[in-house]
Amino acid sequence: MKLSVVIICWNDLRVIRECLRSIYDGTHKTEFEVIVSDNGSTDGSIEFIHEYYPQVVVVENGANLGFAKGNNAGIRASKGEYVLILNPDTIIHEGSLDKFVNFAERHPEAGAFGCRVLNPDGSYQISARPFPNVWRFWIAGLYLRVLGNLSNVFASDMYPRWKGESERAVDWQSGCCVMFRGDLLRRLDGFDEQFFYHFEEVDLCYRVRKEGFPIVFTPEASITHLGGQSVGRFPIRFALEQLRNRYRFMYKHYGPRDCARCRHATLASFRVRQIGYTLLNLVKPSEALQNRLDTYRVVIRWNKLLDPVRFVEHGEEPEIEGQPVVQAS
């Protein structure tokens, strides 16, 4: 088997229909299998797949295991020489999987591969980024990214002067569509399951790089990513989980000192955004802006009370009255 496409599903009937259609209708030269790892869907997703795509291998997890653990269940069922991790809210462009595999075959030195990701309106969606560190959190958090156009010293969470229009080595590729060599992925035991939401693919790409394999990007293969289907349902819950994983990542790869230092950059970033959106809400109030400000209020309070190192080492975190700060499940 040349390619295994692993798709995680959690009540994604609305989008997985088009995702599967695009894979089967647009792939012509590559032997592939599709594995859907279902995290306890109750919206008819599995019934739809069984009826209309009986060739799909369905792994029923019975509960929401999160991105890392859910994808690992799919990876364990895979047989492909390459394994593509794909979100259900994506549409594969005609022939892109064939081009993606061909690109990988031309780069035997690489361990993982990224492709061009577009928004629904056809605009470029940033999917390949530098690895995060404390300095880059400060640059992005204080809206100083423009300085990256003057010097790579100020590169933050994106590559200056590049919008995915050329081949290049990258640090990491978004988990909405990232492909790995199957043997390497299995040797690394897939995703680190301490990460429930966000930073899973960053951590995995970091480990691929530590093994000595570059991650290369091609614009030849492209997808459309609708984005944020689950996150929009629980904005505060997912914002907190993203921050938990930020601290886990920093501790794992940079140590306790940088994990603690990261908290200051995080607080500054949310303070800047809170001030900006408060002013905007005064001029043009809306429910969406108020919801965003409510999220900022909770995460700022949570971060102020948090000791990041004790959180990672002992699981200790503050309780915020009236807010769902427990692990998402």
Q: Residue 227's pLDDT is what? A: 78
3.90.550.10, 3.90.1150.10, 1.10.3720.10, 3.20.190.10: CATH of 3-126+163-225: 3.90.550.10
**CA–CA distance from 268 to each of 241, 245, 261, 273 (Å)?**
18, 18, 12, 9
Distance between first and last Cα of the chain: 33
Helical spans, DSSP H, in the chain: 13-26, 45-52, 66-77, 96-105, 134-141, 182-187, 200-210, 235-254, 256-283, 287-305, 308-314
- 150, containing H or E segment: none
Check: CB of residue 86 under 8 Å from CB of residue 177. Answer: yes
Mean pLDDT, each 10-residue run in order, the chain (329 residues)? 97 96 98 98 97 98 94 98 98 98 98 97 96 96 91 90 96 97 98 93 98 98 80 70 96 98 96 96 92 93 96 92 42
- Give residue 321's pLDDT: 55
The domain limits of the chain are: 3-126+163-225, 131-156, 234-314
What lies within 8 Å, CB to CB, of 194 at 6+ separation is 68, 248
Instruction: Phi first, then psi: give them for residue 40, nearest 5 degrees.
Output: 80, 40
Question: What is the rounded distance in angstroms from the CA atom of residue 154 to the CA atom of residue 140?
Answer: 9
Per residue in 232-245, pLDDT tens?
A: 455 788 889 999 99
For residue 34, what are the CA distances in angstroms to 8, 29, 60, 94, 96? 11, 15, 14, 17, 15
How is 282-315 classified by DSSP, letter by letter? HHS--HHHHHHHHHHHHHHHHHHH--HHHHHHH-
How many Cβ atoms sit within 10 Å of the Cβ of residue 149?
11
pLDDT on residue 238 = 85
